[in-house]
Structure 1
Amino acid sequence: MGTFEKGILGGFSGKVGTVIGSRWRGRNVLRSLPVTSNRPPTEAQLEQRLRFKAAIRFLNPIKSVVSVYFGESQGDKSPANLATSYYIKEVVEPDGTGGFEIDYAKVLISKGDLQSLANPTATAVAGEQITLAWDDNSGQGKAEATDTLLAIGCVEGLNQAVIFNDGVQRDATTDTLQFPAYMAGMEIQLYATFITADQKKAATSVYLGAVTLI
């Protein structure tokens, strides 16, 4: 891949001869045309493809969160890129049948140096609700009372996630998460974190386990 700022034709997009021009992250980029290979993929390549597929399937419903809060960009790697790499390497695991599945306990929805939830609990209550509680650890490290809760309930069987970001502060120590009625009886994989009041920084998220809605 090559980049260029000025040329006799300026920036361009599309195919010209054996190269493709496009804009990528604010830069003019030239890429060579991909070479088609007739070689069958190796076992390692097949495994990587399956891992990638499993990771992306889980990440898609929470992309709006990990794209912002999964750590700081590293060079050309965005938070979303970092999340994908982490999931492929750490979260996706063999399911024993030749496929791959998600290790829910290793899932992260955010990474950062804020204090996360202290002694969190999650309890299902009637009406498709989960009561989330935690200790107020304001003042510890970079934790502020005004940090706000961000919680996500994932239902992988539906390939859906419910995102809660309602401005509930760290010092409130409790919140009630209302899920859709059609999710009654379903198992929710629940994750939570704190973000700063300006929504620019986050804590590393915690896994609160699987909770069945009632």
Structure 2
Amino acid sequence: MGNYSKGANGTISGKFGSVVGSSWRKVNYLRSLPKKSAKKASELQLAVQAKFTLSAAMLSPIKDILSLGFGDKKLGGLTGYNAAVRAFITTAIEGDYPDYTVSYPTMQLSKGTLAPLRQLHMLLEGNMLTINWIFIEKRGIHVDDKVIVVIYNKTSNLYDVEESAVRAGGTLSLELDGDVGDELHIWAFCVTRDERKVSPTQYLGKITLPELEAI
């Protein structure tokens, strides 16, 4: 409900018929309500909408991790999730509308100034995944930097996040969930104990879950 005070020259706020009153920095305004457009969205508008839809589908399940992963960067008012969406649209969408696809190797879950993991690689044996890296103590690198591993099962459209390892440990072993033939994509990044510094995203690669031998 709108408010009207002090007569014709008084303060106006809220909706009155086809106009809206508002005040900003002690200046009062009247503006007309926007009219609903009868025009169909252009192909460019549909393409932009499709990119945002794809971004939300991929990123919203890990919003908390993205808030952490983009917490290091000076965002200028953007939330970590919004910064992640912008990075996703810029770097991780391939193809032409309406046939957009995700570029998993260039997908960013973090962005920051902390040093990444050195000689990072993974090994799959059955459903056991082992991730290894080398720890070298030097300025700006901390033994207790937390290692965040994100696993995306493309087949089932599910994420798994592992946060139990630290940089000095040099290794992490995981028992993978899923079915034979499932396609998994894996990323890692580091964050300091106080969560003020974050490393860039490192993509470890794609794996396919094998059929386990009967015991």
TM-score, normalisation: structure 2: 0.77
Change (3 A) 1:97 1:200: closer
The question of 1:69 aligning with 2:66 is answered no
Q: For residue 97 of structure 1, report the CA deviation from its aligned partner.
A: 7.8
Q: For residue 53 of structure 1, report the CA deviation from its aligned partner.
A: 1.2
Matched residue SS, 2:155: helix
Aligned to 1:151: 149
One-letter code aligned to 1:49: Q
Aligned length in residues: 187
Cα separation, 1, equivalents of 2:32 and 2:179: 48
Q: Deviations over 1:133-167 (max 9, x none)?
A: 0111331x52111111100011233221100011x
Q: Deviations over 1:3-27 (max 9, x none)?
A: xxxxx9xxxxxx8556699xxxxxx
State the percentage of identical aligned residues: 24
Change (3 A) 1:143 1:97: same
List alignment gaps of at least 5 residues for structure 1: 1-7, 9-14, 22-30
List alignment gaps of at least 5 residues for structure 2: 6-13, 23-30, 211-215
- Mark the structure with the bigger radius of gyration: 2
Change (3 A) 1:88 1:32: farther
Change (3 A) 1:35 1:161: farther
Matched residue SS, 1:165: strand
Cα separation, 2, equivalents of 1:74 and 1:33: 32
Change (3 A) 1:116 1:33: farther
The question of 1:119 aligning with 2:134 is answered no
The question of 1:42 aligning with 2:38 is answered no
Q: For residue 86 of structure 1, report the CA deviation from its aligned partner.
A: 1.2
One-letter code aligned to 1:186: D
Moved over 6 A (4+): none
The question of 1:195 aligning with 2:196 is answered no
One-letter code aligned to 1:113: T
Question: Cα RMSD between the aligned structures?
Answer: 2.5
One-letter code aligned to 1:135: I
Cα separation, 2, equivalents of 1:130 and 1:56: 28
Aligned to 1:138: 137
Change (3 A) 1:20 1:93: farther
Q: Is the CA contact 2:187–2:204 (under 8 Å) kept in the aligned structure 1?
A: yes
The question of 1:171 aligning with 2:171 is answered no
Aligned to 1:12: none
